[in-house]
Structure 1
Amino acid sequence: MFDFDGTIANSLDIAFHITNRLAKEFGYPTTSLEEFKQLKKLSSREILKQAKISVFVVPFLVKRFNAEFGQSIQQLPIFPGMRETLLELKQRGDWLGIVSTNSEKNIRSFLETQRLSDVFAQVVSSSRPFGKSRLIKKIVRQHGFASDALFYVGDETRDIEAARKSGIRAIAVTWGFNSAEALAAQQPDFLIHQPPDLLALTRPASASQTGDNRHFL
C-alpha cells in the first residue's frame, strides 16, 4: 500500500504554494522556502504543533487543500522511476493500493494522466492526517491479508506511525517531504532512497530467503 503525495506524485512545490495561500483563511503563518526546508526535519505532529493549527480545523483544511490541488493535477509530475516500478510490481502479481489524505478524485485523475489507472486495485482517502491506520486496518479485514505480507510505503513520519498502528511493515522513502534523518528517527522497518529499491525489498519471501535486506536501512 502506498501514500500518494511525496511518495508517488512529486507534489511538494504545489503543496508549498497552496499551503501558503490558505494560511490567512485557516489562521496559521505563511512559510518561506527556507522555513519549508527546515520543516522537513520535523515529525508530522511537531509541524502541526509549531503551526498552532487546531486538530479540529485540520479536516476542513485538508478538504480545502484537496479542492485547490485538483486544479493542478494535470501538471503534477511523477517521481523518476516510480511509474516503471509500479508497473513491474503489478506485472509480477503484487496487490497494490493507495491510502492517502488527498482526495480519491485527485488521485484517480493523476493515475489516468500517468496511464496507471489499472495498476491499483483500491484507492481510499481520509481527511484526517492521522487517520490512515483506520483505513489500512479496514483494507486488511476486507481482503483477509496477512499483516506480515503487507508494507505501507510513505514519505512522512505519520506514514510510519500509521503502518505501526496497523500492524504492518513501514517502508519510508527519502525522495518526498520528510528528511532521511527525521524518518530514521521514527525507526521504520526499511528506509529507501529510490523507487526501484522497492522491487528487491518487497519481492516474495521465497525469492529472498538467502538475501539480507538490511542494506536498505
Structure 2
Amino acid sequence: MTQKVIIFDFDGTIADTVDALVTIANRLAVEFGYIQITPEELARLRTFSSREIIKYSGISLFKIPFLLKKVKGELKQKIQELRPIPGIHAALIELQEEGYRLGIITSNSQENVTAFLKNNELAYLFDFIYSGVTIFGKTTIINNVLRQKQLKTQAVIYVGDETRDIEASRKANIKVIAVAWGFNSPEALAQQNPDFLINHPSQLLEVIKKC
C-alpha cells in the first residue's frame, strides 16, 4: 500500500498568522498603493477569492512580488510571537503516528517557516518544506514537489485555508481538504467544492482516512 503524503499550507492553516499579516499589510498600504483593511473590510475579504481580493484592493500586479517580499521580511520580526492554530499540534502528531508523511508548501519564506516550526516544537513532524512566490495559486510548486519527490497524485492530499489552495490542488489533480479556521470563510471555501471542508484540526485524521 502506497504511503499517503499530506501537504499543508502554512499561513492560516498551521500558523495563526492572519492578524499579524493584516497588521503588516496595513502598514505597507500607502507605500504600495492599496486600501487599508478595517475589521469590517477583513470580514468581507474573507468571502473573496485571491483574484477578487487583488482586484478589490487596487494594487498593481507588478508590485505584488515586491509586496510579498517585504511582508515576509516584516513577518520574520514577529516569528517569535506567532503560535500554531489551536489543536493543530495534536492533529499533526496523530497523523504522523498513523504513518502519514507530512510536508509544507508555502508562499512564505522557508526561513520563516523553519523558525516557526522550531520555536513551537513542530519541526520533527515534517519531511519537507517547499517555498515559492505565487500570486494566484500553487499549482506549479505542487507539480514540482510531486515530480521531485516522485509522488503519485492519488497518494497526495493538500490541506489549505484559501480558495487558491483548492484551485491549485484541482489543477494538480490531487485531493484537497479546506480548513475553515484560516483566511477564507467556510462559505467561500464551499463554493470551490473541496473534497472535504472541516472546522477543527481534530477532524483531519477522520477525513484523511476517507480519501
TM over 0.5: yes
The counterpart of 2:208, out of the listed 185, 202, 207, is 202
Counterpart of 1:56 in 2: which secondary structure? helix
1:118 aligns with 2:107: no
Moved over 2 A (4+): none
Distance in 2 between residues matched to 1:130 and 1:120, nearest whole Å:
25
Residue of structure 1 in register with 2:139 after alignment: 133
Are residue 83 (structure 1) and residue 85 (structure 2) matched?
no
Aligned length: 205
**CA positional deviation for 1:126:** 1.2
Unpaired segments ≥5 residues, structure 1: none
Do residues 182 (structure 1) and 188 (structure 2) align?
Answer: yes
Q: What amino acid maps onto 1:124 in structure 2? A: Y
Structure with larger RCO (C-alpha < 8 A, sep 6+): 2
Tell me what 1:32 maps to.
38
Q: CA deviation at 1:54?
A: 2.2
- For 1:129 and 1:111, locate their aligned partners in 2 and report how far apart those are by CA, in whole Å: 24
Instruction: State the identity %.
Output: 48
- Distance of 2:59 and 2:132 partners within structure 1: 18
Aligned residues of 2:137 and 2:167 also touching (Cα < 8 A): no
Q: 1:42 aligns with which of 48, 58, 69?
A: 48
Q: 2:108 aligns with which of 102, 106, 116?
A: 102
1:147 aligns with 2:153: yes
Alignment CA distance shift 1:15-1:8 (3 Å): same
What amino acid does structure 2 have at the position aligned with 1:30?
Q
Unaligned runs of 5+ in 2: 1-6
Q: Distance in 2 between matches of 1:54 and 1:147?
A: 35
- Whichever residue aligns with residue 54 of structure 1, its letter is S
1:29 alignment partner AA? I
Give distance in 1, aligned partners of 2:10 and 2:201: 13
Q: What is the alpha-carbon root mean square deviation over aligned residues?
A: 1.2
Greater CA drift, 140-149 or 98-107: 140-149
Shift of 1:56: 2.2
Give SS of 1:57's match. Answer: helix
TM-score by length of 2: 0.93
Measure how far apart 1:131 and its partner are.
Answer: 4.5
1:129 and 1:7 map into 2 onto residues whose CA distance is: 18
- Residue identity opposite 1:172 in structure 2: A
Take 1:31 and 1:97, find their aligned partners in 2: how far apart are those partners? 31
**Partner AA of 2:41 in structure 1:** E
Q: Distance in 2 between matches of 1:56 and 1:39?
A: 21
